[in-house]
Amino acid sequence: MGKVGEALRQQRESRSLSLEDVRSALGIPLHYLQAMENGKSRLVADEFYLIPFLRRYAEFLDLDPAVVVAQFLGDTVRDESRAGAGKGVETAQPSQWLWVAIGAAVVVMVALWLILGRG
User: Using one digit for the tens of pLDDT, what is the confidence trace for 26-52?
Assistant: 999 998 898 888 876 555 556 677 788
Do 36 and 57 form a contact (C-beta atoms < 8 A)? yes
Q: What is the largest CA-CA distance in the chain?
A: 56
**Predicted confidence band of residue 59 (pLDDT cuts 50, 70, 90):** very high
Do 68 and 55 form a contact (C-beta atoms < 8 A)? yes
pLDDT score at 5: 87
Do 30 and 19 form a contact (C-beta atoms < 8 A)? yes
Q: Which residue has the higher pLDDT, 76 or 50?
A: 50
Task: Look up the pTM and report it.
Answer: 0.61
Which residue stretches of the chain are H helix? 2-14, 19-26, 30-38, 50-60, 65-87, 94-118
Could you tell me the fold of the domain covering 2-88? 434 Repressor (Amino-terminal Domain) (1.10.260)
Q: What is the pLDDT of residues 80-107, one digit of tens each?
A: 566 555 554 455 555 677 777 777 788 8
What CA–CA distance (Å, rounded) separates 1 from 26? Answer: 21
Judged against a pLDDT cut of 90, whether residue 63 lies above it is answered with yes
